[in-house]
Structure formats: structure tokens, C-alpha cells
Amino acid sequence: MVERSSLGKLLVVIAALILVLAGNVFAILMGFLIVLTTALYIDRSAFRKLGKPRFWLFSLSVVLLAGLLLGKNPRPVFGIDISPDGLFAGLMMNVRAFSLVLGMVLISRSLTRARFLSLTTRLGLPHYIPAFQTALETLPRMKSAFKDSRQKGRLFGFDNLVDFILLTGELASRGCGIPERVMIFGITGKRKAGKTSLMRKIGQSASVEGIPVGGFIQERYSNDEHFSCGFNVVSVANGNTQMIAEKQGNAPFSFSEEAFINAASWLRRDAEGCQLLLVDEMGILEARGEGHAEGVISTMIKHPDKVWILSLRKDILDELMHSFGIKQERIINLDKENADRKGFVDAVLSALREISV
Amino acid sequence: MSLNSVSRITTNGLSTRRFPPAWREAAVFGALWGAGEITLGAFLTAIRIPMTGVFMACFGIIILISGQMLIKRRWFPLRTALVCAGLRSLSPGGVIFGPMFAIILQGLIVSLVFYILHKPLIAGVVSGFIATITSILQGIVVKLIVYGATLWDIYLSLLSKAESILHLHAGQGWIIVGLFFVLVGSLGAGAGVFGWRLGSAAIRKKEILRG
């Protein structure tokens, strides 16, 4: 994070600040001398931060108030009772403040923006840097979103603010780059509600109409002999199968990185010739942009004129809808008694016919 | 897939991982907040408006509450605050710990309050109230760290002097201090209500546009 030479100086400053914080007069003076010498040696421009009139005004007030309000044995000075002990305490408070402010300026100067960003990765926030870069790219778009929301009226009122927040929200959900013309249908419902079966049925109906179908579905398997169970990912186009997740007993699932990569490559391959693409088991990982998300989003961006059916985990439906820009009217909830399966199949097939035309 | 396994897959650093939507949303709303911090915040500081921190906290609260209502993702305010804090380093002073810490603290407060209370209106009022009071308290705590505990004695002596000048009973000064904090907190609560109104109106309009 910091080069070795500057790290040494930084450690000296930190040690001096610890001395200052100890509170003892001798320690404060020692710390003050170290910080002062280090600042003179490393970065004299750090003193500029102490040039603020507000800082000096407050410091002066502290000395005077300490003399007036604190300490024993006050002596009259120009008719006002001032305690020398109090004045000394106020002076030491200022020495402490001077050392701490100067020390913190030295530390903050060694922590540049680049170092701050790399520090976030070390602290376990790997997505922070791309988010920061996206925010930087978004700043100019904010200006145009602000202008767009002002177009309707000359005065900027509450309605304009609502439009502005809506535009910002749209900007946030569009950020993944999925074009609006991509037709995405969603099937949701609890486990064993028949999501995969409905997906297969639509695939078969499309095939009967001569529409090529691609993508993948996931099949659950269990091996009683080894007390294990898991999921296979199966290519719709050629039936290729690969284990994608497995667990032993009560242990958590372990995932196959290779299977995610292969599933993404199947999607890219199928999108070249197929009009309908099926993606099974979109869950927590995908809502967080992991798992199949990259393969699905990149294929949607590259081939926007396709119809997609995604099987969506019900407990994180909102997040998945938001992440992939799926419209409410294109989702069927199989848990509902009156779920119109036939209507849903017809809607998908008519979307496919429109695309074919 | 258990959450446990999800976190494992994340720390393993799979190549299938990409920039998550949660961070993307935080980036956009963080940019909005950051733009306000860099421009409005710098302007208010430059013209020496008192309690700039409180006004900027109110601004942040409005964005966080309305954004949380639209995005509906847990810890969205904290992520947004982290992005905004990073953007704050773009201002001339570079990496300044004080404002960056204040922004992150606001995000954490709103996230925690939404996590506990769920209802946007109540959460907006409570988090706005706490966040603005915290921005004042932060200034006091920083001064106490910088000048030492003796500063507290000076504050207490000043308070008792003020009580005697105003002919108040001992301890009544604390009531006035409390009232001041309630007043500041009410500003934040008001910002929370405004954020809620903005968020509700945005959701209604979104639903109308959806048909």
C-alpha cells in the first residue's frame, strides 16, 4: 500500500500520535516534537492545513476559557481572575491539538486516492473499485438526467425531483447494459412447483413449430450410497451434462467453476442459431452478479433479438427482476392457483413468432 | 444453495464473478450523492454556512431513503455511502477522514434502521433523526479527541455559567442542549419524511408508467 520508506515515516507519525494521546505532559511534548520534525522533514506544505482562522480562533478560545474556568488559585489580570494552572492546561490542549491535526494531515497525505482504493480490496471489498469507476462515469450522466427532469417545467419542483430520482433508478438498473428490446420471460414458484417442466414444455412446443431452442436446464440428483446430492447442468441443444453443484450430507454446496464457464459457452454457441434460450435456476448467486449472470448478460447484450425464459428463485424474485430488467407482466408465478400456464406459453410463442417475422 | 456456500464461492474468487448489481446501483446513487457533496457541500463550506454537516446529512438522507425505497436491496445505503465517500476524495482536499467517516456513518445508520424497522416512513424519520444528531456529535467527539478530555470540563463549566447568567436551575442547561439536539434531529426527521414522500411518489409514478 505504501512504499517502504514512507511507511517508516508513517509509523513514526503514528507512534508520535499515540504518545500525544497518552495525555501525559511529557508524552505530549515528545509527540509534538516528533510530529513537528517529521512534518518539516517530509512535507512542509502540511502546515497549510493549520492556517485556517477557525482553528486558531478555537484554539485561542480554549486557552482563554481554560484560564478563566479551570484551575485553582486564580490571579487578577486586568481585573479578571485567571488561573495560571488553567492557562497551562489550555496551552497543553493546544499542543495536543496541533500535533494531532498535523499528524493526521501527514497520514491523510500519504493515503492517496489510488491507495485508498487498493485498501478497499484488501479490506474485502473486491467490487468497490469497479463501483467507484462506474460512479465516476455516471457523474456526467447525472447532469443530463437532471436536465431531462427539468424539461417539463421552468421551475424545479417536487415533480421534477420525482422524475430525477426515477431517472437515477433507471440508470442504476440499466447499468448492466441489457438492451430493452430483449424479451425476457420469467417462471417462478417454490421448489417442485413445475418451473423446469413448464420450461421444457415451452421448449418442446417451440421445437414443434420449427423454432430452434438452446440454453440449459438444471437437474437435481442424489447418490444415497455416498450421502451426496447436487445439480447437473444439461445443454438443451445437445444434451451435454456436467455437475455444477454438489454437497455431502449437511455440508454446504461446492460449485464447479468449469461448469459455469461451460454453461456460458453453451449460451453463446446456442445464441448464434437459436431464437429461444432457456436458463434454469437463477438464484442468489445470479442476483449478486455471480454464477450464470455474466454468461446470460453478455449473451443478451451480444444477441438482443432473442426470447429468453429464466427460471427464478421466488424468495429473491424482486432482486432478480431488478438485476435482469424483467417486467412483471412477463412473469408467471406457479404457486398461484389460477396461474395461466397456457396463456404464458402462448405469450412466449407469439413473441417468438414476432421475432421470426 | 445456502448463503454459506454463496459466501464461500465469493471468497474463492471464481472467474464467473462479475460486477454485482448491488454495487452497480450503489455506484449510480453514490454518484448522485457524491455530486451533491462535491458541489453543494463545497459551496456551503466556502460561504461559511454554519452546520454544513447537518444540511449535507439531510441531503444524504433524502437520497438514501428514496433510493432504498426504489432499490429495495439490503445494505444499499451503506454501499452507496462507501461509493460517495470515495467520490468525496475527488474534492480538492483529497482523502479527508472527517467527511468520509461522516458519510459512511450515515449510510450505516440508514442501513441498520431499515434492517430493524422495515417500514420506510418510520425508518426514514428515525434514521434521519439519528443521522443528523450524529453529525453534530461527531464534531464534538472529534474535538474531544483532538483537545482532550479537559475540553469537556470547559464545556461543563460554560454550561453552568450559562445557567447562572440565565437564572436557570442547575441541570436546566442540559434541557436546552437536549432541545437543540431535538431541533437538529427534527431537521433530519423532516429530511427522512421528504425522502419517503419522494420515494413513494417515484414508486407510484413507476407503477403508472408500467400500466
A289/B206 touch (CB, cutoff 8 Å), yes or no:
no
Tell me, what's the pLDDT at B9?
33
Confidence of residue B110 (pLDDT cuts 50, 70, 90): very high
CA gap A294, A260 in Å, rounded: 9
Q: What is the DSSP string of B91-127?
A: STT-S-HHHHHHHHHHHHHHHHHHHHH--HHHHHHHH
Taking contacts as CB-CB distances below 8 angstroms, the residues of chain B near A82 are none
What is the enclosing helix (H) or strand (E) of A130? helix A128-150
Query: Which residue reads 474485502 in cell numbers?
Result: A124
Q: Give the residues across from A184 on adjacent strands.
A: A308
B19/A245 touch (CB, cutoff 8 Å), yes or no:
no
CA gap A145, A163 in Å, rounded: 9
A168/B96 touch (CB, cutoff 8 Å), yes or no:
no
B85: Cβ contacts below 8 Å, ≥ 6 apart? B99, B100, B101, B103, B104
Backbone φ and ψ for A82, nearest 5 degrees, come out as -125, 135
Q: In this model, does residue A269 exceed pLDDT 90?
A: yes
**Edge-to-edge strand ranges of the sheet holding A183-189:** A254-255, A241-248, A228-235, A213-223, A276-282, A307-313, A183-189, A331-333
Task: Report yes or no on B13 lying in a domain.
Answer: no
The per-residue pLDDT for range B9-61, each reduced to its tens digit, is: 332 333 333 567 788 889 889 999 988 888 888 788 778 788 888 999 999 99
Candidate from A135, A288, A327 with C-beta closest to B83 = A135
Tell me, what's the pLDDT at B5?
34
Q: How far does the CA of residue A168 sit from the closest CA of chain B (Å)?
A: 7
Best mutation target among B4, B23, B151 (most A Cβ atoms within 10 Å) is B23
Domains of chain A: 4-111 (no CATH), 116-174 (no CATH), 183-356 (3.40.50.300)
CA gap A120, A225 in Å, rounded: 45
Backbone φ and ψ for B149, nearest 5 degrees, come out as -65, -20
Task: Report yes or no on B113 lying in a domain.
Answer: yes
Q: Structure pTM? A: 0.67
The per-residue pLDDT for range A183-219, each reduced to its tens digit, is: 899 999 988 888 999 999 999 999 998 899 999 999 8
Residue B71 belongs to domain spanning: 21-210
Q: What is the DSSP string of A40-85?
A: HHH-GGGGGGGG-HHHHHHHHHHHHHHHHHSSSS-EEETTEEE-HH
Q: What is the DSSP string of chain B?
A: --HHHHHHHHHTT-TT----HHHHHHHHHHHHHHHHIIIIIHHHHHTT-TTHHHHHHHHHHHHHHHHHHHH--TTHHHHHHHHHHHHHTTSTT-S-HHHHHHHHHHHHHHHHHHHHH--HHHHHHHHHHHHHHHHHHHHHHHHHHHH-THHHHHHHHHHHHHHHHTTPPTTHHHHHHHHHHHHHHHHHHHHHHHHHHHHHHHHHHHHHHH-
Higher confidence at residue B132 or residue A319? B132
Compare all CA atoms of chain A with the CA of B89 and give the residue at the minimum distance.
A113
With CA atoms as reference, report the closest residue to A111 among B36, B42, B104, B85.
B85
For the residues A69-79, what does the mean pLDDT come to?
79
B158 touching A (Cβ < 8 Å): yes
Higher confidence at residue B95 or residue A147? A147
Q: In this model, does residue B63 exceed pLDDT 60?
A: yes
Task: Report yes or no on B8 lying in a domain.
Answer: no
CA gap A85, A72 in Å, rounded: 7
Best mutation target among A28, A80, A156, A168 (most B Cβ atoms within 10 Å) is A168
Higher confidence at residue A141 or residue A263? A263
B26 touching A (Cβ < 8 Å): yes
Tell me the percentage of chain A whose pLDDT exceeds 90: 20
In this structure, of A11-20, A26-35, B11-20, B64-73, the range with the lowest mean pLDDT score is: B11-20
Compare all CA atoms of chain B with the CA of A250 and give the residue at the minimum distance.
B2
- Take residue B154 and report the three cell numbers written for it: 470547559
Confidence of residue A336 (pLDDT cuts 50, 70, 90): confident
With CA atoms as reference, report the closest residue to A189 among A327, A341, A342.
A341
Tell me, what's the pLDDT at B2?
35
Task: Report yes or no on B172 lying in a domain.
Answer: yes
The count of structural domains within chain B is 1
- Take residue A73 and report the three cell numbers written for it: 488559585
Task: Report yes or no on B3 lying in a domain.
Answer: no
B14/A283 touch (CB, cutoff 8 Å), yes or no:
no
CA gap A92, A25 in Å, rounded: 7
| Complex-level ipTM | 0.79
Q: In this model, does residue A48 exceed pLDDT 80?
A: no
The per-residue pLDDT for range A106-116, each reduced to its tens digit, is: 888 777 777 77
With CA atoms as reference, report the closest residue to B37 among B75, B109, B74, B91.
B91
CA gap B159, B80 in Å, rounded: 39
Backbone φ and ψ for A234, nearest 5 degrees, come out as -120, 125
Q: How far does the CA of residue A83 sit from the closest CA of chain B (Å)?
A: 13
Q: What is the DSSP string of A187-253?
A: EEESTTSSHHHHHHHHHHHHHHTT--EEEEEEEEEEEGGGTEEEEEEEETTT--EEEEEEEETTSPP
Are B29 and A175 spatial neighbours (Cβ–Cβ below 8 Å)? no
CA gap A212, A269 in Å, rounded: 12
Q: Give the residues across from A242 on adjacent strands.
A: A233
